[in-house]
């Protein structure tokens, strides 16, 4: 795997995205300090940028980063050892034995997710911190995902880390009795990580497959930990059915392809089959929840051989159930699309215009599409322009610019 011609900075950047969450999670277990773990991993990647262009990639880049970060942290603790507890902590890091396990699953990232999603933290802080630590997202990216200013998000993350440290929140997977109450924010985090991978909030690429793969892996782990929780299975089914469409989401030149225009022959049929099997199992349990309902909607889409064969009446009925279970503006926006397909663009636009999510670029993009279908070209152009102004992913911006140009 070593590259005799050296390693480009872009390669190190890609590895940062891929390995950051794993490395930080491992270092948090070893060091017991989130800030120190993050700083050590960032220093290790800085060292990699200096060395790898000359030496080439090591056989296992993630292990190299983790080891280098651990050694850097030990050196720092030695330098800063002004108190006995610092000496004790540095000595602890030299012990070869793994620390005792606190939970039934040996997975550093799952442990870190449950730590970040502790009920002592506000829900928004739980999500933001886990996206930062597990997904390796920059603060600016998380701010865009939450539609808040970057300084606000930075303060939120700092306060969350301080709360974990000051309150002595343990780095462990909760015991069985605690798990059900701790589950909802963990599922929300996993879904947000997946969504950031499937539709990146920024950058040139529409998809960050590393985040999709990691979110699915972590959700599989959680499903193994909680096999009797249908919402865990529902989220896994939703991810698999959504991920199955990824090969068809972009054209060969990287441009975005919406669901109606996708070549369904490119869909990953193995993922479709697995996702549909999970949805059927959830239906038999008869304990519906938001993730299971969303998975059922995705399953209906996956049943249709072409877009024209989509059973929109079933999808609308499922969105009615979802709106009752999770009455959010984004759910209402997606339901409006189903209304438009079943009852016409005018009916869909009426539903969209009831919503107050003007900071969401897909709100304007959906309005623009419906207005264009109604022949209201001037209004459609203004709506596409508003969507283009808010969109931050280059692939989406290119798509919206093309739609806007097409209305000239």
β-strand partners of 250: 256
Contact 400, 388 (CB under 8 A): yes
Angle value at C-alpha 150, between 113 and 49, nearest 5 degrees: 70
Query: What six digits make up the tokens of 63?
Result: 């292990």
Greatest alpha-carbon span in the chain: 75
- pTM (2 d.p.): 0.76
* Neighbouring residues of 271: CB distance < 8 A, sequence distance ≥ 6: 240, 241, 243, 244
Cα dist from 94 to 17, 71, 83, 120, whole Å: 28, 10, 18, 32
* Neighbouring residues of 182: CB distance < 8 A, sequence distance ≥ 6: 114, 117, 118, 119, 174
* Neighbouring residues of 191: CB distance < 8 A, sequence distance ≥ 6: 215, 235, 238, 239, 291
**pLDDT tens, N- to C-terminus, the chain (408 residues):** 444 455 677 777 778 877 888 899 889 988 888 999 999 999 999 999 888 888 888 889 989 999 999 998 988 888 776 555 655 555 555 544 444 333 434 578 888 888 988 988 988 888 888 888 887 778 887 887 666 889 999 999 999 999 998 888 888 888 777 877 888 889 988 998 898 888 876 666 677 777 888 889 889 988 887 888 999 999 999 999 999 999 999 888 888 999 999 999 999 999 999 999 999 999 999 999 999 999 999 999 999 999 999 999 999 999 999 999 999 999 999 999 999 999 999 999 999 999 999 999 999 999 999 999 999 999 999 999 999 999 988 889 999 999 999 997
Burial of 128 by CB count in 10 Å (0-12 exposed, 13-18 middle, 19+ buried)? buried
β-strand partners of 256: 250
Phi first, then psi: give them for residue 101, nearest 5 degrees.
Answer: -75, 140
Query: What six digits make up the tokens of 223?
Result: 């499903």
């Amino acid at each position: 795997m070593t590259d005799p011609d050296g390693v480009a900075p872009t390669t190190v950047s890609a590895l940062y995205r891929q390995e950051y969450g794993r490395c930080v999670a491992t270092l948090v277990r070893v060091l017991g300090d989130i800030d120190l773990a993050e700083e050590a991993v960032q220093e290790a990647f800085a060292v990699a940028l200096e060395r790898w262009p000359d030496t080439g990639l090591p056989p296992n880049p993630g292990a190299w980063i983790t080891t280098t970060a651990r050694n850097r942290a030990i050196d720092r603790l030695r330098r800063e050892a002004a108190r006995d507890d610092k000496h004790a902590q540095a000595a602890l890091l030299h012990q070869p034995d793994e620390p005792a396990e606190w939970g039934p699953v040996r997975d550093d990232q799952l442990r870190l997710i449950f730590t970040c999603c502790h009920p002592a933290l506000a829900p928004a802080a739980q999500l933001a911190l886990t996206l930062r630590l597990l997904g390796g997202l920059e603060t600016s990216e998380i701010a865009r995902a939450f539609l808040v200013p970057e300084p606000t998000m930075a303060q939120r993350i700092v306060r969350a880390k301080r709360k974990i440290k000051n309150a002595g929140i343990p780095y462990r997977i909760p015991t069985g009795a605690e798990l059900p109450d701790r589950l909802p924010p963990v599922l929300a985090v996993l879904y947000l990580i997946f969504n950031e991978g499937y539709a990146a909030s920024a950058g040139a690429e529409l998809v960050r497959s590393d985040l999709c793969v990691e979110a699915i892996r972590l959700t599989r782990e959680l499903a193994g930990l909680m096999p009797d929780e249908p919402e865990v299975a529902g989220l896994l089914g939703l991810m698999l059915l959504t991920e199955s469409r990824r090969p068809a989401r972009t054209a060969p030149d990287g441009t975005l392809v919406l669901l109606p225009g996708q070549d369904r022959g490119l869909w990953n049929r193995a993922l479709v089959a697995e996702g549909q099997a999970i949805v059927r199992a959830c239906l038999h349990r008869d304990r519906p929840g938001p993730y299971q309902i969303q998975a059922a909607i995705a399953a209906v889409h996956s049943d249709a051989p072409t877009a024209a064969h989509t059973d929109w009446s079933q999808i609308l009925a499922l969105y009615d159930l979802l709106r009752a279970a999770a009455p959010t503006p984004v759910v209402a926006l997606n339901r409006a699309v189903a209304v438009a397909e079943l009852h016409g663009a005018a009916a869909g636009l009426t539903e969209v215009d009831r919503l107050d999510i003007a900071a969401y670029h897909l709100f304007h993009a959906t309005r623009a599409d419906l207005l264009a279908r109604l022949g209201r070209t001037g209004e459609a152009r203004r709506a596409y322009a508003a969507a283009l102004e808010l969109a931050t992913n280059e692939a989406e911006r290119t798509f919206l610019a093309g739609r806007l140009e097409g209305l000239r």
